[in-house]
């Protein structure tokens, strides 16, 4: 309808909106849409680069372990554990074996408990996005501020910590098996039994290693909540640290 010289329209809620107000709201919506698109143009490529860096490094490291295991610390540790098993069985050092396995089991249990607690904490954040958004937007300079994307980031942390918890619990499982296998009388062990003990020890150690890598990966994924730039930066730092540990640690 027309009142004087100002055109008005009736909204669905019965509210009268002038033409100038309608144009102003449309301009704001258009500006917000452009800002969201620009933020996504920054968010998507930076996030993909960080994920490719993290996953690609792990794939290259796995390939190196299979092709030249003694070049990496993982391969050297597997070889050292095999010698440790042979020594314990040959010298009948049962107490040494039990004490070592106890330390491994206690460490894996503590880390598994930590992982599941962090997973539940991030799940709580994902459900209550109001609290998470207050923290996330403090240093997010050019990333997307979408609430849906924020929930995805929190759930990504939940998945990482659940993966970590799963691997540490499997490590505890294998260490418990080793405690029985390694204490069999040495005169009743043949070569296949010793190989089985070594394989079980290394399987437990492999899951322990995957659990630790889950914690390392959780660092950049957690920082991703703050913004994609911080995600990429922390992914580079964590990858460099893991590369050094895999080479010298």
Of 35, 28, 34, 29, the residue nearest 140 (C-alpha): 35
pLDDT given for residue 63 in this prediction: 87
Tell me what pLDDT residue 207 has. 94
Query: Tell me, what's the pLDDT at 209?
Result: 92
Instruction: Find the DSSP H helices in 92-227.
Output: 94-127, 129-136, 147-181, 191-223
Distance between CA 132 and CA 155 in Å, rounded? 12
Spatial CA neighbour of 53 closest among 249, 242, 194: 242
The closest of 142, 204, 222 to 168, measured between CA atoms, is 204
Q: What is the pLDDT of residue 117?
A: 92
> So what's the pLDDT on residue 213?
93
The confidence score (pLDDT) of residue 126 equals 73
| pLDDT string in tens for the chain (249-residue length) | 444 444 444 444 445 445 444 434 443 334 444 445 566 677 788 889 999 999 999 888 888 888 877 878 888 888 888 898 888 887 777 788 888 888 999 999 999 999 999 998 888 877 776 666 666 666 566 666 677 778 888 889 999 999 999 999 999 999 998 888 887 766 555 667 778 888 999 999 999 999 999 999 999 998 888 888 888 999 999 999 988 888 755
What's the pTM value of the predicted model, to 2 decimals? Answer: 0.77
The answer to whether 54 and 214 have CB atoms below 8 angstroms apart is no
pLDDT at 145: 67
């Amino acid at each position: 309808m027309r009142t004087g010289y100002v055109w008005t329209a009736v909204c669905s809620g019965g509210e009268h909106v002038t033409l100038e107000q309608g144009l102003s709201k449309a301009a704001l919506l258009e500006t917000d849409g452009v800002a969201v698109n620009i933020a996504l143009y920054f968010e998507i490529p930076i996030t993909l680069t960080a994920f490719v860096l993290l996953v690609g490094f792990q794939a290259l490291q796995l390939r190196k372990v299979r092709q030249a295991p003694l070049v990496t610390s993982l391969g050297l540790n597997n070889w050292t554990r095999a010698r440790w098993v042979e020594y314990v069985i040959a010298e009948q050092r049962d107490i040494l074996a039990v004490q070592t396995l106890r330390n491994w089991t206690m460490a894996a249990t503590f880390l598994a408990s930590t992982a599941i607690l962090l997973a539940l904490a991030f799940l709580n954040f994902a459900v209550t996005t109001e609290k998470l958004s207050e923290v996330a937007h403090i240093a997010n300079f050019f990333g997307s501020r979408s609430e849906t994307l924020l929930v995805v980031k929190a759930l990504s942390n939940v998945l990482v910590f659940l993966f970590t918890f799963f691997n540490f619990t499997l490590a505890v499982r294998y260490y418990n098996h080793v405690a029985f296998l390694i204490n069999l009388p040495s005169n009743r062990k043949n070569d296949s039994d010793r190989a089985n003990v070594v394989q079980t020890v290394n399987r437990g150690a492999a899951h322990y290693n995957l659990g630790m890598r889950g914690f390392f990966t959780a660092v950049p994924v957690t920082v991703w909540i703050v913004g994609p730039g911080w995600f990429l930066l922390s992914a580079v730092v964590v990858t460099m640290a893991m590369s050094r540990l895999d080479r010298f640690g």
